[in-house]
A and B are shown apart, each in its own frame.
Chain A
């Protein structure tokens, strides 16, 4: 097993609970609007994976395609090209029955509340509950506790007319959550809410994600709630520009900070470096780099361990053993010389690699870099 993938290190694909099922799996997804000459591509070759229980925040300027992607994931638009798997079902070419069935496993929270004026808060929420055929007794309790939780305990039987904008939005949120959806798609859910109830809503999201394995994808520009995100997806011009697992990125940044050359860099720069790293996998016994080869990558060990061997002309001597969080391969990039050692994976290992150009570009950003470098190399000997 030896793979050099195009998966970015920060996608988190190889960190944390990498074996959790994927709620959403987007592959090479394209989408077009219009017909004939007016046909305009809105999404270009998008890839995205969202795991069960993840909270994903999508950002990006308007027109970047994030709403289109959200409607495609939500089965509200037909998938034209590429593959989109939702809860294990392929949506490309799916029939109406499957789509209706999938929609019942999702909760939608729209920017507008879209409540029926003729129904009370309770009845509006119940419209979502009775569709999936929950036991009425349980539903009743759940509706009341949800509404109470969202601060509407005394307004359960009010009609939307006598509720404020924020209250209506909270009723709509309760409607999106009441049937225990496996996936919640939300569009600016907190935009109409004050700080306190906005916080209550995202706390509720976190509980659902943690306790019920509910996956949440929301489009938001509300930076007050960015802290709940497990993953931040940024879209620009119809591409997923960055897809960053927050937890994994901070792990990488911690590792990178231990590298003396990077120790002075700001968290922003570190995150940028992390963004540019790619995942490499090696099986036990495989060599990662070979002494004498041209150096082209800088490696960070994400998992596993390696032996560093130096061939002095007669035999290979093991000079070091490196573990998770440690790095190698930087010398050849800095000095532009061939690899000065061979590195062999001791067990199945995962590496995050940064290529030479990126590595040097990063280093060039630091004015003191040259000096630092020499110091570092000197100290090593």
Chain B
């Protein structure tokens, strides 16, 4: 038979609603801190790889020297042809990318304002490159010379163009790399830490704007990203192995997940960003622990004679430890829920403000909850020593 025990942990926690409110506010604050860090970090990483997510294809290859997407290291078009010759490959396509020379400038009465670098992506319009239906629908508009699609999530501060009105957008007087540019429509990609905005255009236009990509010869003969589509019925990993062996060693071959992971790994480990966010999360954790410790400790301190009485009655040590663990878990729960809700609201607001992709993933929520739980239980275990020191002999 299941015995229903007096829920002492819950009762003690909820008895004084003022103290409970302070506890909830404190823990929720710590949760918010951690969520913000996790959110920013994920947003950063997700933004960095958003372009990968938007590309079609199963296998990707880039120059061996390209340690991140923003690094302008290229490989020869010959690798694309090599890839096309491999078995299991249904198609291999080049994607061109340019950042440093790709300066977009708004013209005002014949004079140029200050220009800002924007990432230009070029591809052959017949190649299945982008997943986005938006882009597919606008492909025909990209055929005329001097036309491009504009990423409407580009930073508004630098690229303040009318996004909702294609006509007005087309009337903007713009120069890209000192040549006239007409924006014929918009698409969605988003900015990241290296790129403030994006343009996409046909490979032919791309070659016109950036003729000096290669010092001598065809600017389209150097490729930034190679995309491979695998034939139905072939294992992606098997095809990847074949490509690795076939292609010259100046390129590195990834599956979609590997490509994504490698890019995130660069930002996480090779830049201070990972450490900064870890420090941020730690601060949230410590703040939460201090608050939680205070709450549990003062709860114990205020009830020392009562706990000593329980000891005298014959409650064993493990009962008190369990009591505090349960109290800590309850605290983590009642603090986490409002913290998560506030964080969700904040995420929405920050996404709108920064264009960063901030959303709550299951893994993010689980990560923060586990951290909150550890934080509460750890501080509970620190405070429980006080409880275990309760001396029933002092009661008489």
Contact = CB atoms under 8 A, between A and B. Distances in A.
Contact of B306 (A67, A102, A115, A133): A115
B3 A103 contact: no
B272 interface: no
Contacts of B309: 108, 110, 114
B312 A76 contact: yes
A110 B306 contact: no
B3 A136 contact: yes
Among B6, B306, B396, the most chain A Cβ lie within 10 Å of the Cβ of: B396
Contacts of A19: none
Interface string B8-29: 1001101100000000000000
B342 interface: no
Contacts of B396: 67, 70-71, 74, 76, 110-111, 185, 187, 219
Interface residues of B, number: 26
Contact of A116 (B5, B306, B312, B395): B306
A74 to B, nearest CB: 7
Contact of A117 (B15, B308, B312): B15
A131 B313 contact: yes
A130 B3 contact: yes
B305 A123 contact: no
A132 B310 CA distance: 12
Contacts of B8: 116, 118-119, 127
B322 interface: no
A106 to B, nearest CB: 8
Among B305, B306, B308, B311, the most chain A Cβ lie within 10 Å of the Cβ of: B306
Interface string A91-129: 000001000111110101011101111110001001110
Nearest to A77: B393
Nearest to A119: B11
A76 B393 contact: yes
Given A116-B8, A116-B306, A131 B3 contact: no
A17 B357 CA distance: 86
B312 A108 contact: yes
Given A118-B11, A118-B14, A104 B393 contact: no
Contacts of B392: 71, 74, 76, 108
A128 B313 contact: yes
A111 B308 CA distance: 13
Contacts of B214: none
Nearest to A104: B314
Contacts of B314: 100-104, 106, 131-132
A130 B305 contact: no
A187 B395 CA distance: 9
A185 to B, nearest CB: 8
B305 to A, nearest CB: 5
B237 to A, nearest CB: 59
A74 B391 CA distance: 13
B18 to A, nearest CB: 13
Nearest to B303: A116
Nearest to A122: B6
A219 B312 CA distance: 17
Chief secondary structure at chain B's binding surface:
helix
Chief secondary structure at chain A's binding surface:
mixed
A131 B315 contact: yes
A173 to B, nearest CB: 13
Interface string B280-295: 0000000000000000
Interface residues of A, number: 35
B393 A127 contact: no
Contacts of A104: 313-314
Among B4, B313, B395, the most chain A Cβ lie within 10 Å of the Cβ of: B313
B316 interface: yes
Contacts of B14: 118
A333 B204 CA distance: 139
A103 B314 CA distance: 5
A77 B312 CA distance: 10
Interface string B294-335: 000000000101101111111110000000000000000000
A110 B395 contact: yes
A182 to B, nearest CB: 13
Interface string B46-77: 00000000000000000000000000000000
Contact of B305 (A100, A112, A133): A112
Interface in A23-58: none
A183 B306 CA distance: 20
A106 B309 CA distance: 12
A114 B15 contact: no
Contacts of B313: 103-104, 108, 127-128, 131
Interface in A55-86: 67, 70-71, 74, 76-77
Nearest to A185: B396
A148 B12 CA distance: 26
Nearest to B316: A100
A102 to B, nearest CB: 8
Nearest to A125: B6
A70 B315 CA distance: 19
Given A104-B313, A114-B308, A130 B5 contact: yes
A100 B8 CA distance: 20
Contacts of A118: 8, 11-12, 14-15
Contacts of B393: 71, 76-77
Contacts of A102: 314
Contact of A114 (B3, B12, B391, B395): B395
A219 B306 CA distance: 21
A133 B315 CA distance: 12
B395 A127 contact: no
A185 B312 CA distance: 11
B6 A123 contact: yes
A127 B6 contact: yes
Interface in B90-137: none
Contacts of A132: 314
A112 B306 CA distance: 10
A110 B391 CA distance: 13
Nearest to A74: B312
B314 to A, nearest CB: 3
A136 B316 CA distance: 21
Contacts of B4: 136
A372 to B, nearest CB: 48
B187 to A, nearest CB: 59
Contacts of B3: 130, 133, 136
16 contacts: A76-B312, A96-B316, A101-B314, A103-B313, A103-B314, A108-B313, A108-B392, A112-B395, A114-B306, A114-B395, A118-B12, A118-B14, A118-B15, A123-B6, A127-B8, A185-B396
Given A112-B305, A112-B395, A115-B306, 9 more contacts: A76-B392, A103-B314, A114-B309, A116-B306, A123-B6, A123-B11, A126-B6, A130-B5, A132-B314
Interface of B: 3-6, 8, 11-12, 14-15, 303, 305-306, 308-316, 391-393, 395-396
7 tightest Cβ-Cβ pairs between the two chains A and B: A103-B314, A118-B15, A104-B314, A118-B11, A76-B393, A114-B309, A76-B392
